[in-house]
A and B are shown apart, each in its own frame.
Chain A
Amino acid sequence: AQSVSQHNHHVILSEAASLELGCNYSYGGTVNLFWYVQYPGQHLQLLLKYFSGDPLVKGIKGFEAEFIKSKFSFNLRKPSVQWSDTAEYFCAVKTSGAGSYQLTFGKGTKLSVIP
């Protein structure tokens, strides 16, 4: 069965620091990749997605992610974090067939940004 690993459970950064959150998946076929964010008290929101094409994808709020097929990775990056980026971040993979929709999520990484 497919799985998604997020290596960091909790990351603490100061404002203006750079961010990189790791995500690895185990599936050898075609994948659609996502990063979602859950701000405190709010619902999951889509940050960015990769389906095909340019492996460097840009999302909302200055986030980007790079798909490296050979490493089965889809790491999330932001050059300079803000206090408002404090949230939990989830990597997800869609591996079901074209006719159905199922996301497999990582366990999430909590990001705390210190002003």
Chain B
Amino acid sequence: GAVVSQHPSRVICKSGTSVKIECRSLDFQATTMFWYRQFPKKSLMLMATSNEGSKATYEQGVEKDKFLINHASLTLSTLTVTSAHPEDSSFYICSARDVVQGAVSETQYFGPGTRLLVL
């Protein structure tokens, strides 16, 4: 199946700094990637849809200036948490859909996630 990687897997930073998380589709091209946030014992909360070559689409309540998304190529999307605060500490997961017979698959392949801890 399709493979999605995320880097870093874990990051600890000081309050006020910015953190960049990379999401890569390793063996397929992804015009669309999704960024999720997951709190302990909770489900995945969609933050935004990342579109290659255009602006991301943010879900209601997600600050676009706080969570900057850049989808510069068909295999890479980045999420930058700007001026991070302790309440931004969470598990961030990206996903992508591959293309099967010319159509975008409805199956999402998830990256392994990035655990962010802001002190």
Do A and B come from the same complex? no
